[in-house]
A and B are shown apart, each in its own frame.
Chain A
Amino acid sequence: MKLVGAERLTTPGLPRAVLGILIGALIGLVPVGLAAAAGLAISPAHLLLFGYLGGLLGWLTGIGAFRFWIAWALGRPIDPAEEHAAHGRAGDRSRYFRFTTDHKVIGLQYLTTFLGLLFVAGTFALLMRLELAAPGQQLLDRDAYNTIMSTHGTLMIFVALNAIVGGLGNYLVPLMIGARDMAFPKLNALSYWLVPPALLVVLLNPLFGGYDTGWTAYPPLSERANLGQQAFVSGFITLGVSSILSAVNFLVTVAGLRAPGMRISRLPIFVWSLVVTTSIVLLATSVVAAGLTMLLFDRLLGTSFFAPAGGGDPILYQHLFWFYSHPAVYIMAVPAFGAILEVAPVFARKPLFAYPLAVASFIAIGILSFMVWAHHMFVSGMADFLHIPIMVTTELISVPTGIVFLSALGTIWLGRIRFASPMLWVFGFLWCFLIGGVTGVYLADVPTNIYLTDSYFVVAHFHYTIVGGMIFGLFAGIYHWFPKFTGRIFDDGWAKAHFWLFFLGFNATFLPMFAAGIEGMRRRVADYPPELGPLNLWISASAFAIAVSMVVFAVGVVRALRSGPVAAANPWRALTLEWQVSSPPPVENFERPPIVTSGPYDYGAPLPGRSGRVPEPVGARR
């Protein structure tokens, strides 16, 4: 059925959602208008707040996020055909642009949205590196630099938090545990459709004057910053709500929808990583949302939670912020650990080494991640007695993180390693995260932290952990599951060109930043002393190698989708459940619930391993 004109705007979908933003924003502005008419002082901040809230609800209504719940609440029967249509039909491209409840569609919606955002935020990074290519001012004044830097940081944090969890997680978790979908498919779709308005409002922050506080938004600076700061707060809180909804969904799904025989001792390690991650999301996100809401109150209502003039304390904000934002580092890293440990056994053709210990280490990371936040605050002026316990817990978290290395190295050791493109990213991850981990010790240790904090050493360190960890894990996963997602094989030459350009470009960009930091170069500056010029020129040039690699990736994806060879169900001969169904899987995943009779990593079993025997896929006996 082809929709035309007015009909397009009355049926749930993107056109109606865009119209919904406009109508919702107008309705949202009504109370502000009434307040103005009553003689109350209103400011652009009120317009933005109420306009955004109204626009957000209008968008969700327009896309059709509430229609089933509204019908249910009014006691109206829900048309099964409509509910079925919301799940989508195989081969129907329009389902990717609708409120679709199929977890595979939602997974790919998340993945493409955040990959797109990765390109946008990466472009911001290139602008920064152009400015920093030489001492003095190049193309950005300091206000523009601060806004670009802040927006780059904020958007990349969003990518790191959501690309694996929302993208790979949504697609794979139900398949890996033998379920037909997530526990709450409509809630899942709502989680995704909260994302676009949040990203849009943050992206549009330059229209509101930008903001110059980085992604950390420390008050009092953030209380004085332009209206762009409020755009940041609005987007951040919206994404927080989306993350919490999605976390509940993951936890219930894994707890309740596992196929017969899928004991927790047989859960794929990637599923375990998401269980831990979403538990952290559930427990920590509300704390930062509270902190940001208090910031908003200080800005809009004249409270003084963080304003010293009214008796508030700026350090309280830092505690609230980092109480979420350090665990958030593990929200980014643990799913990457899961993806890496999922991929390594397939290409080493060996069982995952020390699986129970790896699971225990994930859980330990999850618990310890709540006890280390104040290592971001060693020079903040917080009480001195906090330094030593926080240093100890910070160093302690390296023990479970070390288990990830034990598990990966133990898996690779004595294996029959195939260097297909996913395995290259596994090796790349191990190198980069090793550098991130080792340099992390200098930041955990209080004496060296005092020297290094807020320097380029920190910039290098967190890019090694977040890009070296999360992004390498993401690409290991994307190349590994690309045939499953798309039904196409990614060209090996393009994949390897992408890896080597990215890997070499990344190391050439970020290794020298450790040196810049030790030389005393501060982070978040638009300029630096002339003697650091040559080093920074080298860094800027290398950053463009990363950009080129991402173009190679984009071309490779387009080529594979248009003309890649058709993928078999199980091209890597892996044993987990998602490989036992067609590529891409049917809409209902499994015709009948699979019965699981063995573990996900029984490679080489039974003996002997050298006989060249091809194992049959034992993960799923129907």
Chain B
Amino acid sequence: MGLEARRHLVIAGAIWAVASALGIAAVLAVGRILPVVASREAGIVDGAFVLLTAVSVPVLMLVVVGLVYSAIRFRARPGEDGEGDGPPIHGHRALEVGWLVVTLGLVGFLALYGSIGLIEIRGGERHDLRVEATALQWQWRFAYPDLGITSKELVVPVGERIQVTITSRDVVHSFSVPAFGVKMDAVPGRTTTVTVTPTEIGGYGVQCAELCGFGHTRMTADVAVVSAADFEAWVAQQRQAAQP
């Protein structure tokens, strides 16, 4: 490699290293990407967001620095070398192999990390409370089979592990609660489940995330995460309302 070619690599490499370090530091300083994290599962998803963003910074910078540096330094100047060609480099064995090894290594790491994340999110069958969510054009209905009540909003006690079994009466819908970091399709003829542990008391929303026709846009319902005591009170109130 010529002296000048090496100089270009060193300068661009240094810019890349500094830009990547700054970028990663910025991502870690911000520390959170999801707007609302109200469940154990959303915490895992947010952690994955932060890690993927940190990993993608050097990749992004590699191409951006390569492009910008080339555009500035290797632009043919009129008059000076204006009609000349670049050096006849057809490839570089070590660089090609190195690129393959690094990208394969990254993929291996991401695949392992994603698999662990999936297993963590699913977190086994154990649960404290069962809720049956039924989707139909274009509304949500919730039933609590162990408590014998039904509701148009999803009310759950904080800190308990809730298993939501999801069915559809007509077309494919999707049960999505962004604040909980969960989403699962409601498929006619099948029962699907998600398990979620809410961690923050507050009001959120469930929305249909799979195109389901005319009323898809409006197919939303309220979600409330309440304290154990408030949940007891709400259950009692629902039972009373159901009495004739």
A residues with CB within 8 A of B: 142-143, 146, 212-214, 216, 218-221, 224-225, 308-309, 312-315, 348-357, 379-381, 384, 387-388, 391-392, 395-396, 398-399, 402-403, 405-406, 409-410, 412-419, 427, 430-431, 434, 438, 441-442, 444-448, 450-451, 453-455, 518-520, 522, 524-527, 601-615
Contact = CB atoms under 8 A, between A and B. Distances in A.
B115 A454 contact: no
A184 to B, nearest CB: 35
Interface string B7-31: 0100000000000000000000000
B233 interface: no
Interface stretch (B63-71, B128-136, B148-156, B236-244): B63-71
Contacts of A218: 171-172, 210-211
Given A446-B121, A453-B183, A604-B88, 17 more contacts: A219-B171, A220-B171, A225-B213, A308-B189, A349-B86, A379-B209, A381-B192, A391-B115, A434-B64, A438-B56, A447-B114, A454-B174, A518-B34, A519-B35, A520-B207, A609-B86, A610-B87
5 contacts: A399-B100, A442-B52, A451-B42, A522-B207, A606-B88
A352 B86 CA distance: 11
A448 B85 contact: no
Contacts of B172: 218-221, 314
Interface of B: 5, 8, 33-35, 42, 44-45, 48-49, 52, 55-56, 59-60, 63-64, 66-67, 70-71, 74-76, 81, 83-92, 95-96, 99-100, 103-104, 107, 110-111, 113-115, 117-118, 120-122, 170-172, 174, 176, 178, 181-185, 187-190, 192, 207-218
Contact of A416 (B44, B85, B214): B85
B243 to A, nearest CB: 35
A213 B35 CA distance: 30
A315 B187 contact: yes
Given A399-B107, A522-B209, A604-B86, A612 B188 contact: no
- In the complex, which of the residues A143, A419, A434, A448 has the most CB atoms of chain B within 10 Å of its own CB atom? A448
A412 B89 contact: no
B183 A450 contact: yes
A351 B115 contact: no
A208 B88 CA distance: 60
Given A391-B115, A396-B107, A409 B67 contact: yes
Given A391-B114, A403-B99, A379 B91 contact: no
Contact of B209 (A312, A356, A455): A455
B91 A357 contact: yes
Contacts of A438: 56, 59-60
Contact of A381 (B64, B76, B184): B184
B56 to A, nearest CB: 5
A350 B45 CA distance: 44
B74 A416 contact: yes
Nearest to B47: A447
A63 B42 CA distance: 59
Contact of B103 (A398, A518, A526): A398
A381 B104 CA distance: 30
Contacts of A444: 110, 114
Among B52, B86, B216, max chain A CB count under 10 A is at B86
Contacts of A379: 174, 183-185, 209
B189 A313 contact: yes
A447 B118 contact: yes
Given A379-B184, A606-B88, A143 B214 contact: yes
A212 B217 CA distance: 12
Nearest to A352: B90
A611 B85 CA distance: 8
B217 A399 contact: no
Given A313-B189, A427-B67, A221 B183 contact: no
Nearest to A388: B115
A353 B91 contact: yes
A442 B33 CA distance: 12
A615 B85 contact: yes
B177 to A, nearest CB: 9
A519 B66 CA distance: 32
A451 B45 CA distance: 7
A350 B107 contact: no
A350 B86 contact: yes
Contacts of A605: 88
A249 B59 CA distance: 39
A446 B111 CA distance: 9
A451 B90 contact: no
A617 to B, nearest CB: 13
Contacts of A399: 100, 103-104, 107
A331 B75 CA distance: 33
B111 A391 contact: yes
A381 B89 contact: no
Contacts of B100: 399, 403
Given A414-B87, A604-B85, A451 B181 contact: yes
